[in-house]
Amino acid sequence: MENYSVLSLFSGCGGLDLGFQGGFTSLNNHYKRNPYNIIWANDIDANACQTYRKNLKHTIVCGDIRVIIAQQHNNLFDSPIPNSADIVLGGFPCQDFSQAGKRRGFESKRGTLYQAMSEVIKRTAPLVFLAENVKGLLTINNGSAMDQIINDFTALGYHISYKLLLTADFDVPQKRERVIIIGTRKDILPIFDFQQLLSGKSANWISLETAIGDLENSKEGDFINHYWSKAKKNKGQGNNAVSKNLPGPTMRAEHHGNIEFHWNNKRRLSAREAARIQSFPDDFIFYPSTSSAYKQIGNAVPPVFGWYLARSIYSFLQTNLSGASSENRNLQVSV
């Protein structure tokens, strides 16, 4: 089984990277090891980087990717971005495209961070790249933001396909909708077809009672990261109780303590419960605080969802790379 090298951008606490690595257990299901090696990872949030290092046992470069690119260009950076990679991952920051946010999109500095991802793709010429974002990306500026992103990625020499997916369809106990954009090198590969991924959808959704029911009466602190916000109930998002018979709502990063209430209405969901809803394994520990844990969990790609994406991309590569030599694979893309 061939291993593919992975370069990870906007890695956060490592949800997508864990999914690509595999070899973990979530809700009593084991997700076997995948044939990927992470060769470089980056995020700007120091707390997320701490969590990443301690759990994935892998170096992560902590800092602004735009600064890193500029410093590397001037030979000033001591942890350089690799010259090549088979896969580039990037869940570029999504708050400015979110329907729950101000939807500033390209008007904000964060809204153009996909351009940093584009620069890394241009430099490393991966076989495949995967970008993840919120549903709101499809509709901001009447769809012109998505059109611009697709055009920019296409100009790098890639076929582009994208799909709005629901994580509850992939063994994640959460109704989280995310846009997945996959680029494949035109000189070697066909366009990625989401049909194989969709054929692996789960027949049944996982309810919150199944996912977190055993923690309902656990005392605070009895379980790793089992601490919860004490924010009082008020009006607005995050002040409803979840339903135990359904998957959870989207775990949000910017809830400012207003994470949803448990179905018993006695308290809010704990950070560990939020992590389970995001499909993180119970031995994945978040540092250094509960508030930071909530943020990291909300920003993450659910690892189990990432695992399904990783398996589908691996199958795609194995099917379509039989005639491509390693020399051709490492050539820079013509643009």
Task: Compute, in degrees rounded to 10, the torsion defined by CA atoms 283, 2, 133, 189.
Answer: -170
Averaged pLDDT in 10-residue chunks for the chain of 335 residues? 91 98 98 97 97 95 92 72 96 59 49 85 97 90 86 96 97 97 98 93 93 97 97 86 97 88 96 98 98 97 98 97 62 47
CA–CA dist 40, 86 (Å, integer): 12
CATH architecture of 4-204+302-328: 3-Layer(aba) Sandwich (3.40)
Return the pLDDT at 201.
Answer: 86
Q: Tell me which residue has tokens 């949803």.
A: 260
- Spatial CA neighbour of 311 closest among 209, 216, 206, 170: 170
Cβ within 8 Å of residue 85, ≥6 positions away: 5, 6, 7, 39, 40, 124, 126
> Which residue out of 13, 49, 62, 94 is catalytically annotated?
94
DSSP secondary structure letters along 134-182: EGGGGTGGGGHHHHHHHHHHHTTTEEEEEEEEEGGGGT-SB--EEEEEE
Return the pLDDT at 203.
Answer: 83
Task: Report which DSSP code applies to 221.
Answer: T
Return the pLDDT at 111.
Answer: 52
| Bridge partner list, 183 | 129, 160
Strands 36-43 and 4-9 turn out to be parallel
Q: Which residues of 241-253 are buried (b: 16+ CB within 10 A; e: fewer)?
A: ebebebbbbbbbb
Model confidence pLDDT, tens digit, residues 249-270: 999 988 778 999 999 999 999 9
Cβ within 8 Å of residue 165, ≥6 positions away: 177, 178, 179, 180, 197, 305
Return the pLDDT at 233.
Answer: 86
Concerning whether 13 is annotated as a catalytic residue, the answer is no
- Spatial CA neighbour of 93 closest among 72, 65, 119, 60: 65
Prediction pTM value: 0.92
Cβ within 8 Å of residue 152, ≥6 positions away: 114, 115, 118
